[in-house]
């Protein structure tokens, strides 16, 4: 199958830009910037130094092309190039941006700087932006487009088409939203229905009633679930008075789905949730990852303490040491399997509140099946290899693998479900905190079983 | 923020269905089936037993509603309910399904059964379905809709609107595709452009040329990248003669993005890549996860062998044992962090072929920073706790943590990049195979350092 053609085009462009940058060919750079798709430009910027980014951005004109480029750009790079930019130029750039995109950029700045830009906006625009900035992060309100095309329920199709032709601002018109005399959202008409209907019919006649909608406070993950589940192209955002505040379009939803998946991946590995971690310096990387590794450290010290308790036993049966890595490894891996399946099931809606117990029981069964299998495999190996040391070693190892795999699959499936109920991101459940706990439990069990079964010499 | 409202509605519906099923209230069930959104029905089916699923499906009518329900259903459930269904009924159901959906369902059946259904289809439909079944799995060809609305480049806007009004089949008309006299795709017109243009203008005048397109063999992940990167609503699929074969719409892309993320999550945890694993029995679960745990088992046996070599040293310095878990844990966790960052970067296009060396070097730096920090922390702890055992222990532990963290971040970042070059799914790189290798390397280094630094007593 064809792959990488997309990556190939980017890498050709990158080399062209680099060559022109090296030659300081500003006129050619200006030309190629305008000819490059804004989304491609945004990707290219990841490969340039801060200085190169600044040079290129200075060559850009305050037009729609540059505005679209800004909406596609990584936050870390937006900060770099706009940090020292004149508020005037930023305000000029904003004229081609939707209010939600303006709000998103302003949220990256310190308050003082935000205010210095806000005062330069037109009154109406300023109001809209401030309203959006007031919505919680990652809510429907923060990702909605406010330029929506609405018409009164009594408009006839012919006139609706005429208004549509005059309308410029509303982006991505998929649906026409229909409101009653009090401004309440009462229905929706698809562009196709409008075009294919009798020109004298009112929108009230052709619209679909019972429009699914969300509130501005609805979490963006929930919005994404609704849009993708029902195959919508956009979902309206309404307030408690049922007034239409904006719409969340499917292209915003695509971004949300990608972003939420990335955050889950990073959380699961214990890297925090900064999606742009690849753009950050080694120091910033280390700082983000340090606290999660601290769990390993605490776990490690606990293991030292636990093993210390059994020092006498170890002295007489040194062979016990050799199986510590495999007990930890098998438990850790099956635990990660269980929690990953469930974390992903929660994210995609396959796991919900109704079937938790069944899922945990199933995971325990899986732990039992695999524990018996690998317990026997490893127990036999231990018994044969260390036949002269102690005849019980094989049995101890087998029993430890079995119990550690059952407990690990139990904890691995329980934790994400528990975290969800406590409103903690379940993705954390597969991270170092939980895996380290599983390690400790595994080692403790192993030594307890050994102490119980191996006779003191 | 509001959450879970979607889950709440599903759980109310589920209880209603259960009640009616228990009462065998077939007439009411028929009514509620027709009133429930097909996508919701598909989710509800996950909670019913095989028998309940069959009962409900028998009550369904061969209409569009049921067809849409089938497109939303999990593959495992499709197999359950259609396994023993009459080919005639399946053919009747197919009449409301797009060719790509028909192909997808037929791909789930054994060849003989597929053929018994294919012969019941109309000749043209049969041809189309067979063509789609010929495309590789997970390619643009296998997910495209073939009912596309195309018009000749010389059509005038007025006539185009008229044809649109007569058109019924083409689903999700966002764009009109424009072909020349040889049937080659030459441009695209948005519905809005069509409506807002002078009625006598030809499509050739108003269309956008240079349409981005993909081939039927293009990997669906690549298609998803293109559609989401450029914010398209659909991308045309053309063959080498530039004839339009179909379009991949954004709602198919949303599914692809979700599916690919789920597969990556599962691969990374070593659970295979069956997205429907939650629907499978404990035995099937265990079978999918067994081979990946085998890596832990092999790793465990290797660790036994390695530790065996150093048995004499352990006998004299038993305290060494206590630090095995933390050496393994810290190395494993930082390695998972590195590989997760890179696997996700590859999936989202943030990591590409051009910057591999830089990324690996950065990860090694992060390993160095965190290794020094945690090495010192753990080394001091070891030195103080086991002061009487051997004065070198602290130094051995510190050095081992440091080297294991550097090597783990190196391997963790190298493996996914290497796998990608070898056309192996990079997500496997964070699974048990690589983490187990990191474990072994960590333990080996630890004992080698100990052997070099701790004097034989």
pLDDT digits (tens, 9 = 90+) for A314-327: 887 888 888 999 99
Interface of B with A in 316-345 (CB under 8 A): 318, 321-330, 332-334, 336-337, 339-341, 343-345
Give domain B5-137's CATH superfamily: MgtE N-terminal domain-like (1.25.60.10)
CA distance B444 to B442: 6
User: In this complex, is the C-beta atom of B76 within 8 Å of any C-beta atom belonging to chain A?
Assistant: no
Among B190, B112, B110, CA closest to B157: B190
Per-residue pLDDT tens for B104-145? Answer: 999 999 989 999 999 998 888 899 899 999 999 889 999 998
Give B-chain residues touching A233 at CB under 8 angstroms.
233, 250
Strands lying side by side in the sheet with B175-179: B150-152, B175-179, B185-190
Domain ranges across chain B: 5-137, 150-249, 277-453
pLDDT digits (tens, 9 = 90+) for A348-361: 888 876 778 889 99
Alpha-carbon gap, residue A23 to A17, rounded angstroms: 10
Whole-number pLDDT of residue A4 = 44
Q: Has residue B300 got a pLDDT over 60?
A: yes
The edge-to-edge listing of strands for the beta sheet with A185-190 is: A150-152, A175-179, A185-190
Q: How confident is the model at residue A3 (pLDDT cuts 50, 70, 90)?
A: very low
So what's the pLDDT on residue B170?
53
3-class secondary structure, A369: helix
Put simply, the answer to whether A373 touches B217 (Cβ < 8 Å) is no
User: Rounded distance, CA A218 to CA A221, Å?
Assistant: 8
Q: Are A321 and B319 in contact (CB under 8 A)?
A: no
- Residue burial B254-267, b: 16+ Cβ < 10 Å; e: rest: bbbbbbbbbbbbbb
In tens, the pLDDT along A407-445 reads 999 999 999 999 988 888 888 877 777 888 888 999 999
Read off the pLDDT of residues A60-77 as tens digits, 9 standing for 90 and up. Answer: 998 999 999 999 999 999
- pLDDT for A296 equals 84
Nearest residue of A to residue B257 by CA position?
A258
Residue of B nearest to A193 (CA): B165
Average pLDDT over residues B138-160: 90
Nearest C-alpha in B relative to A166: B196
**Distance (Å) from the alpha carbon of B91 to chain A's nearest alpha carbon:** 25
Q: In CATH, what is the architecture of A277-453?
A: Orthogonal Bundle (1.10)
> Mean pLDDT in chain B?
88
Task: Measure B457 CA to nearest chain A CA, in Å.
Answer: 16
Give yes or no for residue A88 having a pLDDT over 80: yes
3-state SS assignment for residue A237: strand
State yes or no: pLDDT of A226 exceeds 60: yes
Q: From CA A331, how far away is CA A320, in angstroms rounded?
A: 17
What average pLDDT score do residues A378-397 get?
86
Which of the four pLDDT bands, split at 50, 70 and 90, describes residue B41? Answer: very high
pLDDT at A8: 74
CB of A87 within 8 A of CB of A116?
yes
Domain B150-249: homologous superfamily in CATH: CBS-domain (3.10.580.10)
Tell how strand A150-152 and strand B175-179 pair up. Answer: unpaired
Provide the shortest C-alpha distance from residue B120 to chain A (in Å).
30
Rg, Å, chain B Cα set: 30
pLDDT per residue as tens digits for the range B336-394? 999 999 998 988 888 876 778 889 999 999 999 999 999 999 999 998 888 776 778 89
Query: pLDDT category, B149, cuts 50, 70, 90?
Result: confident
Burial B206-231 (b: 16+ CB within 10 A, else e): bbeeebebbbbebbbbbbbbbbbbbb
Instruction: Tell me whether strands A185-190 and B185-190 are parallel, antiparallel or unpaired.
Output: unpaired
Of B326, B339, B353, which is closest to A11 when you measure between CB atoms?
Answer: B353
Q: How confident is the model at residue A171 (pLDDT cuts 50, 70, 90)?
A: low
Contact B228 A258 (CB under 8 A): yes
- The stretch B221-244 carries a mean pLDDT of 90
Examine the pLDDT at B299 and tell me if it is beyond 50: yes
Determine what percent of chain A is predicted with pLDDT higher than 70: 96
The per-residue pLDDT of chain A, averaged, comes to: 88
pLDDT of residue A123: 87
Kindly state whether A233 is in contact with chain B, defined as any CB-CB distance less than 8 angstroms. Answer: yes
B293 Cα to chain A: minimum distance (Å): 7
Give the span between the Cα atoms of B382 and B322, in whole angstroms.
10
pLDDT at residue B147 in the model: 80
Residue A310 pLDDT more than 70?
Answer: yes
Q: Hey, is A212 helix, strand or coil? A: coil
Predicted local distance difference test score (pLDDT) of residue A183: 87
DSSP assigned state of A139: B
Quickly state the pLDDT bin for B1 (edges 50, 70, 90): very low
Angle at B445 between CA B441 and CA B451, to 5 degrees: 150
Identify the CATH number of the domain defined by range A150-250: 3.10.580.10
| Pick from B195, B325, B329: CB nearest A165 | B195
**Is pLDDT at B85 greater than 50 in this prediction?**
yes
Residues paired with residue A179 on neighbouring β-strands, in sequence order: A152, A185
B166 pLDDT band, cuts 50/70/90, is: confident
Summarize pLDDT for A29-61 with one digit per residue, the tens: 999 999 999 999 999 998 899 999 999 999 999
Closest CA to A327 of B300, B320, B309: B300
State the Cα–Cα distance between residues B333 and B341, nearest whole angstrom.
12
Confidence of residue B172 (pLDDT cuts 50, 70, 90): low
- Token reading at B404: 């294991």
Q: Cα separation of B271 and B312, whole Å?
A: 39
DSSP classification of residue A178: E
pLDDT surpassing 50 at residue B326: yes
Orientation angle between helical segments A432-453 and B324-348, nearest 10 degrees: 150
The pLDDT value given to residue A31:
94
Q: Between residues 1 and 60 of chain B, which touch chain A (CB distance below 8 Å)?
A: 1-7, 10-11, 14, 37, 39-40, 43, 46-47
- Distance (Å) of CA A82 to CA A24, A54, A142: 22, 9, 21
- Angle at which helices A99-106 and A123-133 cross, to 10°: 60
- Residues B102 and A331: their CA atoms lie apart, in Å, by 43
d(CA B190, CA B211): 12
Q: For residue A255, which of A265, A263, A267 has the smallest C-alpha distance? A: A263
Mark yes or no for CB contact A324/B326 under 8 Å. Answer: no
pLDDT at site B363: 94
- Does the beta-carbon distance from A254 to B258 stay under 8 Å? no
Instruction: Identify the residue with better confidence: A103 or B278.
Output: A103
Do B258 and A35 meet the contact criterion of CB atoms below 8 Å apart?
no
Is residue A5 predicted with pLDDT exceeding 60?
Answer: no
Residue B219: list chain A partners with CB under 8 A.
1-3
Chain A, residues 240-279, CB within 8 A of chain B, namely 250-251, 253-255, 257-258, 261-262, 264-266, 268-271, 277-278
Q: Tens digit of pLDDT for each residue in A242-283? A: 999 999 999 899 999 999 999 988 888 888 888 888 888 888
Determine what percent of chain B is predicted with pLDDT higher than 90: 46
Q: How close B164 comes to chain A (CA, Å)?
A: 8
For residue A353, give the nearest of B7, B336, B435 by CB distance: B7
Tell me the average pLDDT across A124-147: 90
What's the pLDDT band for A152 if we cut at 50, 70, 90? very high
A108 has pLDDT over 80: yes
Interface of A with B in 369-428 (CB under 8 A): 369-370, 373-374, 377-378, 381-382, 385
Q: Is the pLDDT of residue B291 over 90?
A: no
Taking each helix axis as running N to C, give the angle between helix B75-82 and helix B50-58, from 0 to 180 degrees, rounded to the nearest 10.
70
- DSSP summary character for residue A319: G
Query: Residue A169 pLDDT more than 70?
Result: no
Say what the pLDDT of residue A1 is: 37
In three-state secondary structure terms, B454 is coil
B457 pLDDT band, cuts 50/70/90, is: low
Please report the beta strands in A120-162, taking only residues with DSSP state E, as ranges in sequence order.
150-152
> What band does A6 get if pLDDT is binned at 50, 70 and 90?
low
- The answer for residues whose C-beta is within 8 angstroms of residue A363's C-beta and 6 or more apart is A338, A341, A342, A409, A410, A412, A413
């Amino acid at each position: 199958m064809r792959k990488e053609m997309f990556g190939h085009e980017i890498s050709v462009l990158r080399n062209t830009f680099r060559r022109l940058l090296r030659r300081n060919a500003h006129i050619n750079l200006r030309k190629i910037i305008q000819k490059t798709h804004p989304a491609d430009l945004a990707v290219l910027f990841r490969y340039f130094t801060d200085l190169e980014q600044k040079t290129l951005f200075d060559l850009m004109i305050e037009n729609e092309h540059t505005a679209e480029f800004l909406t596609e750009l990584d936050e870390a790079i937006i900060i770099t190039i706009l940090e020292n930019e004149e508020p005037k130029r930023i305000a000029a750039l904003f004229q081609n941006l939707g209010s939600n995109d303006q709000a998103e950029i302003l949220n990256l700045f310190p308050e003082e700087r935000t205010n210095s830009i806000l005062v330069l906006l037109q009154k109406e625009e300023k109001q809209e932006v401030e309203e959006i900035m007031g919505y919680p992060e990652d809510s429907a309100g923060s990702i909605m487009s406010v330029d929506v095309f609405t018409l009164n329920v009594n408009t006839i199709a012919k006139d609706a088409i005429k208004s549509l032709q005059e309308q410029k601002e509303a982006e991505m018109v998929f649906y026409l939203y229909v409101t009653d005399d009090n401004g309440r959202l009462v229905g929706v008409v698809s562009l196709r229905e409008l075009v294919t209907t009798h020109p004298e019919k009112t929108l009230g006649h052709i619209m679909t009633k019972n429009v699914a909608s969300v509130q501005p406070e609805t979490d963006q993950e929930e919005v994404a679930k609704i849009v993708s589940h029902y195959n919508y192209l956009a979902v309206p955002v309404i307030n408690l008075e049922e007034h239409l505040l904006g719409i969340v379009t499917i292209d915003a939803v695509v971004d949300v789905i990608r972003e939420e998946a990335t955050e889950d991946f990073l959380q699961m590995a214990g890297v925090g949730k900064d999606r742009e971690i690849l753009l950050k310096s080694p120091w910033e990387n280390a700082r983000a990852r340090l606290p999660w590794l601290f769990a390993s450290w605490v776990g490690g010290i606990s293991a030292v303490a636990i093993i210390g308790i059994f020092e006498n036993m170890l002295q007489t049966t040194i062979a016990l040491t050799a199986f510590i890595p495999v007990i930890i490894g098998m438990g850790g891996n099956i635990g990660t399997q269980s929690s990953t399946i469930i974390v992903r099931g929660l994210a995609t809606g396959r796991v919900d509140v109704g079937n938790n117990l069944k899922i945990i029981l199933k995971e325990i069964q899986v732990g039992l099946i695999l524990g018996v299998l690998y317990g026997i495999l490893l127990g036999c190996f231990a018994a044969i290899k260390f036949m002269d040391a102690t005849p019980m070693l094989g049995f101890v190892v087998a029993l430890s693998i079995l119990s550690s795999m059952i407990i690990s699959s139990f904890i691995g499936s329980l934790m994400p479900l528990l975290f969800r109920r406590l409103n903690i991101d379940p993705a954390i459940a597969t991270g170092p905190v939980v895996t380290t706990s599983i390690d400790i439990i595994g080692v403790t069990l192993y030594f307890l079983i050994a102490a119980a079964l191996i006779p003191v010499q």
